[in-house]
């Protein structure tokens, strides 16, 4: 078998599915290739990830018809956030009012988003699928890029988009290097029933030796997010449900009363990935393949959606101008705009993770000082809240620098 198409998307995770939906209707022949089979895509298993979604992400998901497929009862409001350092009682408060909105964002389970994205894509006439088969390699040829599937078949596309996770094989096969940082820690996530009301406020404690977060879910439920050295995470994951509940209640110092496990636990190794670039000949990276964020600042899928928005926009603008899907300006525009969005957040997240996993006395002092100062600096709080609600901007000097590097033509705006 050999098949030709305009755009081949490798990976039907949330990013790949959303991109397929975004390109549908542009008159392109789209091919979606995924290792998992149809049944798993239609009924993705629960994976413990609760995804904090920004206002920009919600509007894109609405536009793509994905949001409408998520059960409203399963979407939790995220009103405010509080960040605590060590045993300090004074948090950095990121309030919805700083973001000029009624709430900072929403929380939805990753498997629900995947299921909804699958429903939005199923039955779209421009999208063909090859499911249940891995893509094993890729190479450019004249006017196209070839994908080699397990079993020996080939797909030929004018443009290939790799949405095949942070450990992307397509990225490596296309010769794009990446800096990976293994933090030596793992994150355990679990849905818990809690006694004390969370008030729909997300809380994060950068305690010494561990990071804890509690994400508010509807009712007396929350997601416990516990980051520890890997051996300690494994031990916690192996406890029986009752022991686990007792240890977690103690870890959270009883702040939310007794906590009881109500779903399976899931453990994720913490590895950050920054590729050298997000394009190669006739190839673009989106989603986690383009930037593998540490989840502590909850930006991964939000950035993934931004990469979908930017690539779809570059492609549709190219077609509107009478150019092709594989015009050089598509990839150069995508590289510039998607990096402009992801670089500041990747650097900020890596700095936060570095600072808060460094237990030495100077680092402890710096982080406490930074958090206190940040709490008193309204423009800083507004910048963070505005990132989430879409009603703010980066502080002026940072924004000027960002524009100078990524948008030289607009630096003087």
Closest CA to 174 of 166, 165, 162, 157: 162
Residue 13 binds ligand FAD, judged by CB under 6 A: yes
Residue 216 binds ligand FAD, judged by CB under 6 A: no
Residue 224 binds ligand FAD, judged by CB under 6 A: no
How many residues at the interface with ligand FAD, by CB under 6 A?
Answer: 33
**Interacting span for ligand FAD (CB under 6 A) from 11-19, 76-84, 206-214, 232-240:** 11-19
Asked if 311 and 19 touch (Cβ cutoff 8 Å), the reply is: yes
What does the per-residue mask of binding to ligand FAD show for 161-200, with x meaning CB under 6 A?
A: --xxx---x-----------------x-x-----------
Residue 302 binds ligand FAD, judged by CB under 6 A: yes
- Select the residue interacting with ligand FAD from 76, 101, 110, 227 (CB under 6 A): 110
- Select the residue interacting with ligand FAD from 203, 260, 265, 299 (CB under 6 A): 299
Both tokens of 260, joined, read 């009881």
Both tokens of 117, joined, read 């994205």
Residue 130's beta-bridge partner residues? 33
Q: Could you give the count of Cα atoms lying within 13 Å of 268 in the half-sphere of its Cβ?
A: 17
What does the per-residue mask of binding to ligand FAD show for 46-65, with x meaning CB under 6 A?
A: ---x-xx-------------
**Interacting span for ligand FAD (CB under 6 A) from 62-70, 119-127, 158-166, 328-336:** 158-166
Return the number of the residue (134 or 277) whose C-beta is nearest ligand FAD: 134
What does the per-residue mask of binding to ligand FAD show for 267-286, with x meaning CB under 6 A?
A: -x------------------
Strand 135-141 versus strand 92-94 pairing type: unpaired
d(CA 165, CA 275): 12
Return the number of the residue (149 or 363) whose C-beta is nearest ligand FAD: 149
d(CA 285, CA 47): 24
Q: Which residues of 52-87 are buried (b: 16+ CB within 10 A; e: fewer)?
A: bbbbbbbebbeebbbbeebeeeebbebbbbbbbbee
* Nearest residue (beta carbon) to ligand FAD: 13
Name the one residue in this structure whose structure tokens are 């920009």. Answer: 56
Return the number of the residue (131 or 374) whose C-beta is nearest ligand FAD: 131
Residue 288 binds ligand FAD, judged by CB under 6 A: yes
CB within 8 Å of 384: residues ≥ 6 apart: 94, 98, 392
Residue 101 C-beta: closest distance to ligand FAD, Å: 18
Residue 98 binds ligand FAD, judged by CB under 6 A: no
d(CA 372, CA 366): 10
- Select the residue interacting with ligand FAD from 8, 12, 23, 157 (CB under 6 A): 12
What does the angle CA 397 – CA 379 – CA 406 come to, to the nearest 5 degrees? 30
Return the number of the residue (275 or 287) whose C-beta is nearest ligand FAD: 287
- Select the residue interacting with ligand FAD from 7, 16, 273, 315 (CB under 6 A): 16
Residue 44 binds ligand FAD, judged by CB under 6 A: no
Asked if 266 and 188 touch (Cβ cutoff 8 Å), the reply is: yes
CB within 8 Å of 208: residues ≥ 6 apart: 86, 359, 364
What DSSP line would sit under 343-355, residue for residue? HHHHHHHHHHHHH
Biggest CA–CA distance in the chain, Å, is: 64
Asked if 28 and 6 touch (Cβ cutoff 8 Å), the reply is: yes
- Select the residue interacting with ligand FAD from 35, 129, 262, 374 (CB under 6 A): 35
Residue 204 C-beta: closest distance to ligand FAD, Å: 11
**Interacting span for ligand FAD (CB under 6 A) from 28-36, 85-93, 151-159, 350-358:** 28-36
CA dist 316 to 24, 186, 309, Å? Answer: 11, 40, 11
Strand 279-280 versus strand 221-229 pairing type: unpaired
Residues in the site for ligand FAD, rule: CB under 6 A? 10-16, 33-36, 49, 51-52, 110, 134-135, 163-165, 169, 187, 189, 268, 287-288, 295, 298-302, 304
């Amino acid at each position: 078998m050999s098949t030709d198409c305009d755009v081949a998307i490798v990976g039907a995770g949330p990013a790949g599915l959303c991109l397929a939906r975004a390109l549908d209707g542009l008159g392109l022949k789209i091919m979606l290739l995924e290792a998992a089979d149809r049944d798993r895509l239609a009924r993705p298993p629960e994976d413990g990830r609760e995804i904090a979604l920004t206002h920009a992400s919600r509007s894109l998901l609405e536009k793509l018809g994905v949001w409408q497929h998520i059960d409203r009862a399963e979407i939790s409001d995220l009103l405010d956030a509080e960040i605590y350092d060590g045993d300090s009682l004074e948090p950095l408060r990121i309030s919805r009012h700083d973001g000029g909105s009624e709430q900072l964002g929403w929380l939805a389970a990753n498997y629900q988003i995947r299921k909804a994205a699958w429903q939005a894509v199923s039955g779209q006439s421009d999208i063909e699928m090859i499911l249940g088969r891995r893509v094993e390699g890729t190479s450019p040829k004249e006017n196209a890029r070839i994908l080699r599937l397990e079993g020996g078949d080939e797909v030929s596309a004018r443009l290939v988009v790799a949405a095949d996770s942070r450990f992307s094989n397509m990225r490596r096969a296309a010769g794009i290097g990446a800096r990976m940082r293994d933090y030596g820690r793992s994150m355990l996530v679990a849905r818990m029933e809690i006694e004390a009301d969370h008030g729909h406020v997300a809380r994060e404690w950068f305690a010494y030796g561990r990071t804890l977060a509690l994400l508010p879910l509807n009712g007396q439920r929350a997601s416990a997010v516990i980051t520890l050295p890997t051996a300690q995470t494994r031990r916690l994951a192996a406890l029986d449900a009752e022991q686990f509940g007792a240890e977690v209640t103690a870890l959270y110092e009883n702040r939310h009363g007794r906590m009881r496990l109500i779903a399976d636990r899931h453990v994720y190794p913490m590895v950050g990935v920054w590729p050298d670039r997000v394009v190669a000949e006739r190839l673009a990276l989106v989603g986690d393949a383009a930037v593998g964020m540490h989840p502590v600042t909850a930006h991964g899928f939000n950035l993934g959606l931004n990469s979908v928005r930017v690539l779809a926009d570059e492609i549709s603008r190219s077609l509107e101008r009478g150019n092709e899907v594989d015009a050089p300006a598509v990839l150069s525009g995508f590289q510039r705009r998607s990096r402009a969005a992801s670089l500041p957040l990747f650097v900020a997240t890596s700095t936060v993770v570095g600072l808060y996993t460094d237990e030495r006395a100077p680092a402890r002092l710096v982080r406490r000082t930074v958090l206190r100062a940040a709490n008193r600096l309204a423009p800083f709080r507004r910048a963070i809240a505005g990132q989430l609600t879409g009603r703010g901007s980066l502080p002026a000097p940072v924004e000027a620098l960002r524009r100078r590097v990524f948008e030289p033509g607009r630096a003087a705006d």
